[in-house]
Amino acid sequence: MAIVQISRIQHRRGRKLAGTGMPQLASGELGWALDTQQLYIGNGSTSEGAPTVGNTRILTETDNIFDFAEVYSYKPTDNLWGVDAPPTRSLQERLDEVVSIESFGWSYALTPTAQTAAIQSAIDKLFLNQENRVVLYFPQGNYEINDIILVPPYATLRGAGKEKTRITSSSNIIFQTRHYNPAASAEGITTNNQPKYIEISGMTLTVDSALYGAIDLYSCTNSTFKDLRIKGIWEFGENNFPHIGILMRSYSNAITCQHNIFDEIELDSLNTGVYSDYDITHNTFGNIYFNKMRYGIAFGTDGAGTGLAEPGQLIGPSYNTVENCIFDSIDKQGFIISLGDYNVSKDNKYLDVGNDNSEFSISVTSCIEFTTTTNVSDNDLFERTKNYMPNRSSDANFNLEYVPEILGRANYEIKHSGQTPIAQQISEIQLLKFPIVDGTITIDYVYNETSFDILQSGTIKIISNIAVPDVYIEDETVYTGTPLYQNALAFTVAQQDFGSVTAGIDTIVLNVTNTIPVVTDNFHYTVRVKA
């Protein structure tokens, strides 16, 4: 009769954290740590060929493989390191530098409510703890939310790029900065806990509601907003349409929006691109495209000139810089300041601005309007100058009021260059036209006529005084060519009322007569308007 024997093989087991820990195992012997759920096998002796005496840990389902992946090095085979061994890090550490929103339960399949909750949960868990300084990454795709996403200090929200990562809200502001109070109350905000060192970049923000904007910066400081596209649903002609791309507010005059950088941003189809009635200061707006909106930038326009009612509204926006931006298809002013000082518009291009969605020849407002006295326009270019300043009788804008590029009490200089034939003009004709200004208009010119080898160079200075009102002209010239025509070219200046927008005198006209029997001529000019 056959005998069947079933035996049990017993391996070493015990508690690793008790006594002296895991003992030395025999060659090939298994040891199981009950308390830590870890499995080991003995290396064997060196005489058997083992490189070292000891125990080797065997990975099981209870282990995190990333704890053992201390093998990441930056380009370990690169000549960068020379004879030095490159530092190593765990794979877990490397992967945690950038955290995907998908790691917090977000997915395309979620409802807008659930997507909003997942995004807010990720931000809270990562950044309400002030020690975290990681990047929260939003992969490319469409995100639909229905409530405000609150952004605390040190948060970095980074998408895959404009029109790659797209966040859409139909019922509220998309991003609002906050301090450390989880309740997002304004109470208790200080310079220590205010929103700071925030970055939002690489995404498109779309607002589908006329009642809300995209970004609300509440007492935000030292932060960066770049590589963004902000879109709304505003249409030409809309008036009471509180639809703002970037809103900037302040808790107080001391705890304000300041030292923020806005760069490479597209603002499209909004009532107002950037808006603030608060004492925001030292913010820089660069390389921004303002397109299709009622106002480009509006500062201090609510209760202008009297000071505003809320804390943080004593003096209005000040010491802010707008540079290298393009304003296009703006119904009213591209940049308007009703309250605020020492703001600068520099090296910007104001294209179709102030025409109320009409042809350029029907201007209704200035391109820039500064009510206070210390704001500056520096080297800005205006499409209006090109369209209005050359003023021959054959031009479509011949009898139209020259609505000024810049209106109000400001320091500015407008530059424009061009050329035009004059031909023989026995009777006086209009050559150039300018807006009514308090200041000086300087025209540097060179006139040449080929049949008589005439070359005349000169500087015309026009001094305009609105208070009188009156206008004066002087012409300093140097002439070469046929002596007969040395005084053939003569300039006069006059004020005229074309009356389409402004009551009373509204335009300065430079007139010319020319007794030369011209074959071919050209008048080259450069204009500087200082006001």
Distance CA 257, CA 277 (A): 11
By the 8 A CB rule, do 220 and 196 touch? yes
Going by pLDDT thresholds of 50, 70 and 90, the confidence category of residue 414 is: confident
> For position 10, what pLDDT does the model report?
73
> Residue ranges of the domains in the chain?
97-223, 415-530
Taking residues 136-160, what's their average pLDDT? Answer: 95
pTM: 0.81
Of 16-20, 38-42, 278-282, minimum mean pLDDT range: 16-20
> For position 306, what pLDDT does the model report?
47
Going by pLDDT thresholds of 50, 70 and 90, the confidence category of residue 395 is: low
> For position 492, what pLDDT does the model report?
93
Going by pLDDT thresholds of 50, 70 and 90, the confidence category of residue 39 is: very high
> For position 522, what pLDDT does the model report?
93
- Give the residues across from 377 on adjacent strands: 345, 412
State yes or no: pLDDT of 44 exceeds 60: yes
Going by pLDDT thresholds of 50, 70 and 90, the confidence category of residue 297 is: very high
Going by pLDDT thresholds of 50, 70 and 90, the confidence category of residue 91 is: confident
Buried b (16+ CB within 10 A) or exposed e, 74-96: eeeeeeeeeeeeeeeeeeeeeee
HSE of 497, CA atoms in CB hemisphere, 13 A: 6
Distance CA 118, CA 106 (A): 5
* Tens-place pLDDT, residues 62-80: 887 766 666 777 777 777 7
By the 8 A CB rule, do 117 and 95 touch? no
* Tens-place pLDDT, residues 434-447: 888 888 889 999 99
DSSP secondary structure of 266-293: EEEEEEEEEEE-S--BS-EEEEEEEEEE
Taking residues 156-163, what's their average pLDDT? Answer: 96
State yes or no: pLDDT of 122 exceeds 90: yes
* Tens-place pLDDT, residues 310-331: 778 888 999 999 999 999 999 9
The rounded mean pLDDT for the chain is 87
* Tens-place pLDDT, residues 200-226: 999 999 998 777 789 999 999 999 999
Nearest to 486 by CA among 498, 476, 478: 478
Residues above pLDDT 90, as percent of the chain: 48
Beta strands 149-151; 521-530: pairing state: unpaired
Which one-letter amino acid corresponds to residue 336?
Answer: I
State yes or no: pLDDT of 2 exceeds 80: no
By the 8 A CB rule, do 405 and 382 touch? yes
Going by pLDDT thresholds of 50, 70 and 90, the confidence category of residue 305 is: very low
Distance CA 225, CA 151 (A): 13
Going by pLDDT thresholds of 50, 70 and 90, the confidence category of residue 388 is: confident
Taking residues 490-508, what's their average pLDDT? Answer: 81
**CATH classification code of 415-530:** 2.60.40
How far lies 196's CA from each of 98, 224, 319, 408, in Å?
A: 20, 9, 19, 35
Taking residues 386-403, what's their average pLDDT? Answer: 72
- Give the residues across from 525 on adjacent strands: 418, 445
Taking residues 24-51, what's their average pLDDT? Answer: 89
Taking residues 237-254, what's their average pLDDT? Answer: 84
> For position 363, what pLDDT does the model report?
82
